Amino acid sequence: MLPGSKSLSNRVLLLAALADGPTRLHHLLDSDDVHHLRKALTKLGVPIQEQAGVITVGGGGFQRPAAHLFLGNAGTAFRPLTAVLSATPGEFVISGEPRMCERPIGPLVDALRQWGAQIEYLGQPGFPPLKITGRKLTGGPIRVDATLSSQFVSALLMTAPLLEGPSNLEVVGELVSQPYVNMTLGQLRQFGVRIDHSDARNYQIHPQKLQSPAEIMVEGDATAASYFLAAGAIGHGPVRVCGAGSESVQGEIRFARLLEEMGAEVKWSPDWVEVSRAPDRLLQGIAKDLNDIPDSAMTLAVLALFSESPCEIRGVGNWRVKECDRQQALYRELRKLGASVELLDDGLRVESPFKWKAARVETYNDHRMAMCFSLAAFGPTGVTISNPDCVSKTYPHYFSDFEHLSRA
């Protein structure tokens, strides 16, 4: 069973805190990113209880008008909470790990200031940490540049219903990771919020109260699924992952379709996916724009080590502002293993090694670097992963689950 989706977990946790009435959250992810948000919400006076693995969030909004909040490197917590706090009367400081303070937040702050938000940069302009003087906001028309992150759009959509007047949100620039915005809209609907939109760039939101749906089951993490599904394609399988399938609300589940294109056999159920590959069938490289699924695109970059022809990945320029500069990190570490790698403006071209090399792969304290490079263990020379504990950000037990799969 896959761990709960990080993106879904932090969305429903925050929405449950803002809703009228308690919400019971089942299968919430147990990881660093979610712990940071839980601690922050507790500091803000939100009652949260855990019993038998079920998290009950009391709801009713934030009860404390001042707090200093530390959110680690959790973008799914930092960006939405910045927006919500700007519309919450009080004085707040939010900070994070050094890498979080290198990840841009300027486009979101610029958009919030159009609503009248009072936000001060405490370090380099455009980046955390932030001082927020929250107050009631009246809404109105705003524009946000979503070229770097769809989280800016999601943060504004989650905040707009709390404002005192109607809002019109226009998305400018190239919108990355559109499926994550769709996910946010779906979670808002679960809490009774209606947002009108004719396309992915224009949204009309009226003031609304969030209503608890009472119970929410968090589906399994589709990006985490990509590592095991790729293993099924490399090692012939079959490998079945449970918790996310054909009815998943996560765009990253599309990775399984890529495996089909490369020559793997994929079976689907509403809540599971299974991958295998005939021994006489080789994996073929593909060229894709993966703007919609930048996290699983990393898995494809490492899977290219095992394909007969090169893989070309485009549309992932925002790799540079993730937990590390993922474009440079993948480029360096894939070359250590013997791959031929070309840096593209917005991605990579990867050709499998003529001769594999044994290597120690650096993870740059990035959970996804550690997890996707675990697949190199299926190569002829093996691989050593530096700082494997960085997976605690989203999947603390990843390597024990991966070891179990490898021995199956």
pLDDT tens-digit map of 157-187: 999 999 999 999 999 988 999 999 999 999 9
What are 116-157's pLDDT values in tens digits?
999 999 999 999 999 999 999 999 999 999 999 999 999 999
φ, ψ of residue 96 to 5 degrees: the values are -160, -170
Contact status, residue 393 vs residue 248, Cβ threshold 8 Å? no
Beta strands 130-134 and 90-95 are antiparallel
What are 279-319's pLDDT values in tens digits?
889 999 999 999 999 999 999 999 999 999 999 999 999 99
Long-range contacts of 177-180 (CB under 8 A, 24+ apart): 177/149, 177/150, 177/251, 177/291, 177/292, 177/293, 177/294, 177/318, 178/150, 178/251, 178/291, 178/292, 179/250, 179/251, 179/252, 179/254, 179/292, 179/293, 180/7, 180/150, 180/151, 180/154, 180/251
Our separate counts of H helices and E strands in the chain read 12, 21
What are 12-25's pLDDT values in tens digits?
999 999 999 999 99
What are 49-83's pLDDT values in tens digits?
999 999 999 999 999 999 999 999 999 999 999 99
Residue 188 has pLDDT above 80, yes or no: yes
Q: What percent of the chain shows pLDDT beyond 70?
A: 100
Q: What is the mean pLDDT of the chain?
A: 97
Residue 380 has pLDDT above 80, yes or no: yes
237 band by pLDDT with thresholds 50, 70 and 90 = confident
Nearest CA among 110, 114, 15 for reference residue 60: 15
Q: What is the pLDDT of residue 406?
A: 72
Residue 263 has pLDDT above 70, yes or no: yes
Nearest CA among 141, 133, 94 for reference residue 115: 141
What is the C-alpha to C-alpha distance for residues 397 and 403, in angstroms, rounded to an integer?
A: 10
Which candidate in 295, 345, 346, 389 is catalytic?
295
Amino acid at 151: Q
Contact status, residue 87 vs residue 58, Cβ threshold 8 Å? no
Contact status, residue 233 vs residue 256, Cβ threshold 8 Å? no
Rg of the chain, C-alpha, whole Å: 21
Q: What is the pLDDT of residue 408?
A: 63
Q: What percent of the chain shows pLDDT beyond 90?
A: 96
Amino acid at 184: T
Instruction: Mark whether 295 is an active-site residue.
Output: yes
| Domains contained in the chain, CATH given | 6-201 (3.65.10.10), 222-407 (3.65.10.10)
Helix (H) or strand (E) holding 227: helix 222-234
Q: For residue 50, what are the β-bridge partners? A: 55
